[in-house]
Amino acid sequence: MWPLTVPPPPPPLLLLLLLCSGLAGQTLFQSPEEGWQLYTSAQAPDGKCICTAVIPAQSTCSRDGRSRELRQLMGKVQNVSQSMEVLELRTYRDLQYVRSMETLMRSLDARLRAADGSLSAKSFQELKDRMSELLPLSSVLEQYKADTRTIVRLREEVRNLSSSLAAIQEEMGAYGYEDLQRRVMALEARLHACAQKLGCGKLTGVSNPITVRAMGSRFGSWMTDTMAPSADSRVWYMDGYYKGRRVLEFRTLGDFIKGQNFIQHLLPQPWAGTGHVVYNGSLFYNKYQSNVVVKYHFRSRSVLVQRSLPGAGYNNTFPYSWGGFSDMDFMVDESGLWAVYTTNQNAGNIVVSRLDPHTLEVVRSWDTGYPKRSAGEAFMICGVLYVTNSHLAGAKVYFAYFTNTSSYEYTDVPFHNQYSHISMLDYNPRERALYTWNNGHQVLYNVTLFHVISTAGDP
């Protein structure tokens, strides 16, 4: 058993400037004792992002307790205001980009009008096609402008609310406290809704690691349910990479850190590898010594469905570079359930398949052309498979395959492998974070995505 090493929580109401490179409004860590939450905000122009430590208000009847709550609420307003400022910087940057596209569109329009009959039919058609591709940018630009106006209004509201709270704090009273608290919560919800419009994007950075706990053997996996509501913070823990059947379910992340308040599930069939995933209340895993996918439902403690993955290698036939029966890796991103594996027909190259979570049937498959034995680990974000070039120190995100265009590119995204042996790496779309098992340590990474706002009606 590894010793429990968890850093103490930060002081209350402290704005932390960290190289966390994350998305606004996503909870990275929560302390059960202090009730504080660490939120990541938009990325600033200098490459950093603002993380805010937020202490939620707690009801109490004493005068001292209410005063403390007011101070906490004041700090929360300041945190939201800071997040809005950073989001405004990003909106301004993206707005400049879209405006440049609008200029290009107008230039093309002017060229079309000036050309009239002087262009060949082929050239004229090419210009028209280019114009049609750029037309949606007009509506995107309008959305950027609207978002910018919204942020200005939100900042003004927070400024007024902060002044009101300051006056109340001077009087050490609690008049209108509940109403002020509701207004702050509403402002925070609107900020998060604005940030969520950023949607999917391309991976451009991975943060420094956040060690949550050191527990178990060198290999294993841990995860949360990507489809659960935000209030559900259960953690599942599976130690080892083959023939295991015991799954521990911790009530909260705080309980997982302390090793308390958990129940045990005994799987009817043992697992192979560490590529398991929890999705909508069920565990998806590879049955030991087979290419069978098993869907185990936690609440009913039963197998709902199991199905062979056609042609998939198993039993260390096509593992990742570290071995460990990692032939089959299951993942969940914003678009659903995926399986990453290899077949003999693909000559050892990675195949990524979209699975129906109810029947486990393959909906569609892609041959990425990347040799699986050369991959350290892999994860999916927004329909894109990202592959690391090693499981050891010095690893980086080296390859990306885009399922929407069936194309790939080589990348160079640094990835700090702190404990030098990663045996599990998965993206959680709910938290916008990477979960890893690194040499007996359970570790989180935040991610930076380059976002493009979708217009109404886009898929």
pLDDT value of position 160: 74
Res 223 pLDDT > 90: yes
Res 186 pLDDT > 80: no
Q: What percent of the chain has pLDDT over 70?
A: 63
Give the global pTM.
0.61
Res 164 pLDDT > 50: yes
Can you tell me which residue has the tokens 């498979």? 385
d(C-alpha 221, C-alpha 330), whole Å: 12
pLDDT value of position 69: 63
Contacts of 139 (CB under 8 A, 6+ apart): 455, 456
Q: What percent of the chain has pLDDT over 90?
A: 48
pLDDT confidence band for 9 (50 / 70 / 90): very low
pLDDT value of position 14: 31
Res 379 pLDDT > 90: yes
What mean pLDDT comes out for the span 60-65? 42
Element (H or E) spanning 236, and its range? strand 235-239
Which residue from 390, 350, 351 is spatially nearest to 371, judged by alpha carbons?
A: 350
| Choice among 95-99, 269-273, 308-312, 411-415 with the minimum mean pLDDT | 95-99
Which two three-digit tokens encode residue 228? 């659960």
Mean pLDDT rounded to a whole number for the chain = 78
34 neighbors 9 (Cβ within 8 angstroms): yes
What mean pLDDT comes out for the span 314-336? 95
What mean pLDDT comes out for the span 227-248? 93
**Which residue intervals of 172-265 are DSSP H helices?**
177-196, 253-258
385 neighbors 400 (Cβ within 8 angstroms): yes
CA 388 centroid distance within chain: 17
Res 51 pLDDT > 50: no
pLDDT confidence band for 197 (50 / 70 / 90): low
d(C-alpha 48, C-alpha 46), whole Å: 6
Backbone angles phi, psi at 135, to 5 degrees: -55, -40
